[in-house]
Amino acid sequence: MDQRAQTWPARLRRSQPVRDLRTEPRCVPPPYGPRPPRCPRSPPCCSPPPPPTPPTTGDTIALPVRDALAALPVQDEDRTGYERTKFRHWIDADRDGCSTRAEVLLAEAVTAPEQSTGCQLTGGSWYSPYDDTYFTAARALDIDHLVPLAEAWDSGASTWTAAERQAYANDLDDDRALIAVSAASNRSKADQDPTTWQPSATGYRCTYATDWVAIKTRWSLAVDPAEQTAISATLGTCPNAPIEVTLAR
């Protein structure tokens, strides 16, 4: 042995076997097309993960309400061509004799009314959260589309089919879509969005803004810039509560 090798410091001596690169697994680029991403030093070879699949109709999503608001498309409103009759409403979808209006009154009654032939309701009591008021007569209540029909039209429903607009106008699958409220509060609201109208019951405003975002998310509706600003300002004073929404379209 070379005498010099015996005097080399131990740290300079080769302590690992020589790697035979011919026998190590390696990533082989395809013969054609773009070069694949750089592979790690050790096998197995890697490939980029597939992009997430966007949610589709029928999927249920859950996210903080402020994130949901930020995810809504922003565009100017256009009411051209709107007519309320383009949203067929108060149908009897399950053919049980009760219209959508009656179904909401039955579902939201504080004390249940008596139901007679033709789904006529007598007695019972209801709470109107818009103005923090109780009622004991169904005729004193309106069924409000939380996001009004005209607002839905402005925000994207103008491109829907007649069947989709009917489904929106009679949406019993999400408890937030239709709400029994006093006739006075509903007519005060009319077709306004949160930019120009808020419930007089201030304690309900966080719920109102949160539910507004949930319904717009459910139906893939847009918000206009002023509407987005107004809702964001309200939600800034509220818990960033999670919303769970089943997409209707």
pLDDT digits (tens, 9 = 90+) for 201-213: 999 999 999 999 9
Sign of the C-alpha dihedral, residues 239, 192, 126, 121?
negative
Share of the chain above pLDDT 90, in %: 78
Residues 141-182 pLDDT 10s: 999 999 999 999 999 999 999 999 999 999 999 999 999 999
This prediction has a pTM of 0.80
Paired tokens of 111 = 């004390």
pLDDT tier, 39 (very low <50, low <70, confident <90, very high otherwise): low
**Dihedral of the CA atoms 226, 156, 76, 188 (nearest 10)?**
-40
pLDDT exceeds cutoff 60 at 42 = no
Asked if residues 107 and 138 have their Cβ atoms less than 8 Å apart, the reply is no
The rounded percent of the chain whose pLDDT value lies above 70 is 81
Residue 204 DSSP one-character state: G
Q: Would the CA dihedral through 188, 194, 200, 205 be positive or negative?
A: positive
Closest to 249 in 3D by CA, of 152, 178, 143: 152
Query: Three-class SS of residue 233?
Result: helix
4 pLDDT more than 70: no
Chain segment 63-118, per-residue pLDDT in tens:
999 999 999 999 999 999 999 999 999 999 999 999 999 999 999 999 999 999 99
- CA nearest to 154, candidates 232, 216, 65, 230: 216
Q: How far apart, in whole angstroms, are the C-alpha atoms of residue 125 and residue 207?
A: 22
pLDDT band at 54 (very low <50, low <70, confident <90, very high): confident
Residue 173 DSSP one-character state: S
pLDDT of residue 24: 55
Supply the DSSP symbol for 219.
Answer: T
Average pLDDT over residues 125-151: 98
Residue 106 confidence (pLDDT)? 98
Confidence at residue 12, expressed as pLDDT on a 0 to 100 scale: 45
CB-CB contact of 233 with 82 (8 Å): no
In tens, the pLDDT along 187-198 reads: 999 999 999 999
What is the pLDDT confidence band of residue 51, given thresholds at 50, 70 and 90?
confident
DSSP-based three-state secondary structure for 120: strand
Q: Pull the structure tokens for residue 148.
A: 């009004």
Three-state DSSP at 74 gives strand
| pLDDT the model gives residue 80 | 97
Task: Quote the pLDDT of residue 115.
Answer: 95
The answer to which of 1-10, 56-65, 86-95, 211-220 has the lowest mean pLDDT is 1-10
Q: Answer yes or no: are the C-beta atoms of 74 and 224 closer than 8 Å.
A: yes
Q: What is the residue whose two structure tokens read 């008021």? A: 133
Secondary structure (3-state) at 182: strand
